[in-house]
Amino acid sequence: MLQISPVEIKRQRKLVIIWSITFMVVFPLLIILGLLMRLNQGEDINLGADTFYTLMTLHGLGMAGLLFTFSFAGLWYLVGTRQAKLNISVGYFVYTLVLIGVIGLAIATLIGKFGPGWYMLYPLPFIGVNWPAWSTGLAIVSLIIMGVAWLSGIIHLVSAMSKEFGGFSNLMGWQYLRKRKEGERDLPPIVMITTISLVPGLCAFLIGAAMLFMYLMQLLEPALHFNPLLMKNMVMFFGHTLVNITLYCCVGWVYALLPEYTGREWKTDKVLVYSWNATFIFILFAYFHHLYMDFAQPSAFQYIGQIVSYSSAIPATAITMFGVISQIYHSKIKWGVIPVCFLIGVAGWAIGGFSAVVDSTIAVNSVLHNTLWVPAHFHTYMLGGVVLFILGLIFYLSHTKEEQEKDKTAKFGFWLFVISIHCFIGMFYSGGLNSIPRRYADYKGIPIVSVHHTGALLAEIAALFIILLLIGLFIMYFAIIIKLSKQKNASLIKSV
Partner 1 sequence: MILFINFLTIQTSAAIISFIAGAIVVLVVIYLFYSSSPAEDKVSAKHKVYKMRARYFFALVFCVIAGLIITLGFLPYPQFQSRPDETVSVVGMQWAWKFAPGISDKTPLQMEGGSEITLPSNKLIKFLVTSSDVNHDFAIYNTNGVLVAQTQAMPDYQNALEYKFPEPGDYHILCLEYCGIAHAIMVGTIHVK
CB 176 within 8 Å of CB 244: no
Minimum CB distance to partner 1 smaller for 198 or for 416: 416
Least Å distance, CB 400 to ligand HEM, is 28
Tell me the window of 103-111, 350-358, 404-412, 478-486 that interacts with partner 1 (CB under 8 A): 350-358
Q: Does 343 bind ligand HEM (CB under 6 A)?
A: no
By a kind-dependent CB cut-off of 5 to 8 A, residue 483 interacts, out of ligand HEM, partner 1, none, with none
Least Å distance, CB 28 to ligand HEM, is 9
How far is the C-alpha of 89 from the C-alpha of 32, rounded, in Å? 33
Q: In the chain, what is the straight-line distance between the N-terminal and C-terminal CA atoms, in Å?
A: 33
Question: According to the 3-state scheme, what is the secondary structure of 171-216?
Answer: HCCHHHHCCCCCCCCCCCHHHHHHHHHHHHHHHHHHHHHHHHHHHH
Tell me the window of 101-109, 170-178, 321-329, 400-408 that interacts with partner 1 (CB under 8 A): 321-329
Q: Of 124-153, which residues contact partner 1 (CB under 8 A)?
A: 124, 127-130
Q: Does 367 bind partner 1 (CB under 8 A)?
A: yes
Q: Does 17 bind partner 1 (CB under 8 A)?
A: no
Nearest 5°: CA angle at 264, between 77 and 410? 60
From candidates 46, 329, 478, 490, binder to partner 1 by CB under 8 A: 329
Nearest 5°: CA angle at 322, between 425 and 282? 70
Render 261-278 in DSSP notation, one character per residue. HH-------HHHHHHHHH
What x/- string results for residues 472 through 491 when contact with ligand HEM is judged by CB under 6 A?
--------------------
By a kind-dependent CB cut-off of 5 to 8 A, residue 387 interacts, out of ligand HEM, partner 1, none, with ligand HEM
Q: Which residues pair with 371 in a beta bridge?
A: 437
Minimum CB distance to ligand HEM smaller for 156 or for 240: 240
Q: Which amino acid is at 379?
A: H
Q: Does 314 bind partner 1 (CB under 8 A)?
A: yes
Minimum CB distance to ligand HEM smaller for 59 or for 289: 59
Long-range contacts of 487-493 (CB under 8 A, 24+ apart): 487/398
CB 241 within 8 Å of CB 162: no
Least Å distance, CB 29 to partner 1, is 23
Tell me the window of 32-40, 224-232, 356-364, 474-482 that interacts with ligand HEM (CB under 6 A): 32-40
Least Å distance, CB 50 to partner 1, is 6
Least Å distance, CB 373 to partner 1, is 8
CB 315 within 8 Å of CB 275: yes
Tell me the window of 62-70, 147-155, 174-182, 325-333 that interacts with ligand HEM (CB under 6 A): 62-70
Least Å distance, CB 55 to ligand HEM, is 9
How far is the C-alpha of 375 from the C-alpha of 425, rounded, in Å? 8
Minimum CB distance to ligand HEM smaller for 285 or for 417: 417
CA 272 to chain centre: 23
Minimum CB distance to partner 1 smaller for 90 or for 362: 362
Minimum CB distance to ligand HEM smaller for 91 or for 375: 375
Instruction: Tell whether omega for the bond before 6 is within 30 degrees of 0, i.e. cis.
Output: no
From candidates 81, 162, 435, 487, binder to partner 1 by CB under 8 A: 435
Q: Which amino acid is at 97?
A: L
How far is the C-alpha of 316 from the C-alpha of 351, rounded, in Å? 12
| Count of other CB atoms within 10 angstroms of residue 93 | 16
Q: 251: closest CA among 352, 153, 170?
A: 352
Least Å distance, CB 168 to partner 1, is 29
Q: Does 290 bind ligand HEM (CB under 6 A)?
A: no
Nearest 5°: CA angle at 104, between 98 and 108? 145
Q: Does 67 bind ligand HEM (CB under 6 A)?
A: yes
Q: Does 457 bind partner 1 (CB under 8 A)?
A: no
DSSP three-state, residue 354: helix
How far is the C-alpha of 195 from the C-alpha of 188, rounded, in Å? 11
Least Å distance, CB 153 to ligand HEM, is 19
Contacts of 44 (CB under 8 A, 6+ apart): 460, 463
From candidates 63, 97, 187, 427, binder to ligand HEM by CB under 6 A: 63
Q: Of 444-473, which residues contact ligand HEM (CB under 6 A)?
A: 466, 469
CB 241 within 8 Å of CB 288: no
What x/- string results for residues 229 through 268 when contact with partner 1 is judged by CB under 8 A?
x--x-------------------------------x----
Q: How many residues form the binding site for partner 1 (CB under 8 A)?
A: 83
Q: Of 83-112, which residues contact ligand HEM (CB under 6 A)?
A: none
CB 435 within 8 Å of CB 451: yes
Which residues of this chain interact with ligand HEM, rule CB under 6 A?
A: 31, 34-35, 37-38, 56-57, 59-60, 63-64, 67, 117-118, 375, 379, 382-383, 387, 438-439, 466, 469
